[in-house]
Amino acid sequence: MTLPPDAQGRLVLDLTEPTGAKVALEAIEAPAVPAVASARPPLTNFTPQRTAEGSIRRAFANRFGAHDPIYVIYGNERLAAKFQFSFKYRILGEDASLGDKLPALNRLYFGYTQRSLWDTDADSSPVYETSYLPELMFESQKVLDPDSPGGFKWVGYQVGVRHESNGQSGATSRSVNTVYVRPGFAFGRFDGWHVIIAPRLSFYVSDLSNNPDIADYRGNVELQTIIGRGNGPALALTSRIGQESGKGSLQSDLTVPVKFDRLFDFATFVLVQYWDGYGESLLDYDQRSTGVRVEFSLVR
């Protein structure tokens, strides 16, 4: 609306349509503004509604990151299909005053992974089991120079608390809570052949009554070794050592980058995953399984 030229001081706007309402206004002389500058917005008692894009940027920008691999794969074993989704979220934003006072809190993350085994050959093709893995972790990553010479490199570490459960109740309920530390080391050049070694040492910190002997099959030590060449093919070997002799597991993930330029403008990885051992399913952690699955991975 446009106010009369002589309007000054406190005014009352009386509205009749669509409903009756009164609004108090304060009329002041507008300050002179240079032509190159934008005028200040008028004072108002109403806060403009934040757009959807603005809300997304405020909550998510520069906070989400890759965590564990994201993939969908299929094989010929009983639980043929397997898919996993994972992300991590930095809790403090870049401008958080608390992060200025305590810089270590800028490295605090919430992580979440969800992994499902799908019995596609059974009647109605049910999802056999889904594991839910929320965690709170402190992460420190060293800034690495891609042009640095080969040799030993300290990559960083993670320290966290992780919960894992299958969301079921009664006799089929399974849950594990652990505290872990995971350092990382590397050898070689990241733009050429290199090896990354990341052991994880875990400690069980809760009641294991619904799976009392799970440590015999999963143990406390997990070792991941990744052999790759730049951004090209990579082979990741993840092994667990059970507390009981002969128990444990080995998972190998071979990823090869592919890109669909013309049709989709989409980059991903072909994933070939081999599993042998105990604990792929939290429900059947004490039963050995073996299988090969192939399809694609979005994050490796």
- Identify the pLDDT of residue 115: 96
Mean pLDDT of 1-17: 78
Q: What's the whole-number average pLDDT of the chain?
A: 85
* 44 confidence band (pLDDT: 50, 70, 90): very low
Domains along the sequence of the chain with CATH: 65-299 (2.40.230.10)
How does pLDDT run across 121-140, given as a tens digit for each residue?
777 778 999 999 999 999 98
How does pLDDT run across 225-252, given as a tens digit for each residue?
999 998 899 999 999 999 998 899 999 9
Instruction: Give me the DSSP letters along the chain.
Output: ----TT--EEEEEEE-SSS-EEEEEEE-PPPP--TTSPPPPPP-SSPPPPPHHHHHHHHHTTTEE--S-EEEEEESSSS-EEEEEEEEEESS-TT-HHHHHSGGGGGEEEEEEEEEEE-TTSTT--EEEEEEEEEEEEEEE----TTSPSSEEEEEEEEEEEEEE-S--GGG--EEEEEEEEEEEEEE-TTSEEEEEEEEEEEE-S--TTSTTHHHHH-SEEEEEEEEETTS-EEEEEEEE-SSTT-EEEEEEEEEEEEETTTT-EEEEEEEEEEEEE-SSSTTTTSEEEEEEEEEEEE-
How does pLDDT run across 261-296, given as a tens digit for each residue?
666 767 799 999 999 999 999 999 999 999 999 999
Mean pLDDT of 29-50: 52
